[in-house]
Amino acid sequence: MCGIVGLYLKKPELEGQLGKLFEPMLEAMTDRGPDSAGFAIYGDEVADGWVKLTLQAKEAAFGWKHLMSALEGRLGCSLDWFQNASAAVLKVNCEEERVRAALADLAPDVRIMSAGQSIEILKGMGLPKEISERFGLGKMKGSHIIGHTRMATESAVTMEGSHPFSTGADLCLVHNGSLSNHSRLRQELKREGITFETENDTEVAAGYLTWRLQQGDSLKEALDHSLEDLDGFFTFAIGTRNGFAVIRDPIACKPAILAETDDYVAMASEYQALASLPGIDKAKVWEPEPATMYIWERA
């Protein structure tokens, strides 16, 4: 079944409230996804020439300090980092591929959840409330965020199988539904150089968008192509460095609702996840049309 939530703040002065506003939205989707949960938050951008990566270990007691010291020595680049439960956010003045290669050598069991200049992805197994508390969601700041609560249908309940999925810089995707042609697409995308780490069909959708963007598509063009090439039933929420987008398949059998005020745009699988937002009683609220793109981005 799964639940999707997203929140995009229009005003920079509200960014300190992002986590506080979003936490009850995510937790309201518990009945739709009690297996695992996660979110991608955007903000705290690094400068050009730097890259920010979210890393996740299997246990909270992982030796991050030792790894970061070894990584700094290997790369010879300035870096900054902080730990959040079993995850660490790394900011480094170095090419992404060099960082990835060094991490693969120094800590092959550590997973890279996201990379870019703004994005951080935090996720894991457990109820949404447990995930919120584990990573301190309520205190987080940022410009926009998308999240997901999972009820597994097509692959195992694991941290790796939880959403969001990221396969490109500052790009992520969450998904309610199922894709019928993901196995064939996975093989085609692998031949195009897209790599995958799970058997989850949602990762294929994320990889497809990454590939289309690499071909020179705009986000709108990539989503247009997705309606032609992705078979199945789906509601997608896509996060980018500058904003987020929502799209449903041509049949639109998977639920979604949008709300907009002068302060924010919010989306969810069910209205109850929006009910805690300030001013929701005066918001423009509507159900997104089938095969129609809704995109909000900073200029």
Helix (H) or strand (E) holding 17: none
Q: CB atoms < 10 A from the CB of 76, how many?
A: 8
Kindly report the CA angle at 163 between 51 and 50, in degrees rounded to 5? 5
Q: For the chain, how far is it from start to end, CA to CA, in angstroms?
A: 35
The pair phi, psi for residue 236, each rounded to 5°, is: -110, 140
Cross-strand pairs, 79: 92
User: From residue 182, how far is each of 105, 169, 203, 241 by CA, in Å?
Assistant: 31, 22, 9, 26
DSSP characters over 204-225: HHHHHHHHHHHTT--HHHHHHH
Closest CA to 265 of 221, 287, 295, 238: 295
Residue 2 catalytic? yes
Instruction: List, in order, residues 6 or more apart from 151 with CB less than 8 Å away.
Output: 1, 2, 32, 33, 34, 35
Write down the catalytic residue from 2, 94, 172, 253.
2
Residues 107 and 239: their CA atoms lie apart, in Å, by 28
Contact 87, 54 (CB under 8 A): yes
Of 5, 40, 18, whose CA–CA distance to 259 is shortest? 5
What element of type H or E holds 91? Answer: strand 87-92
Catalytic residue ranges: 2
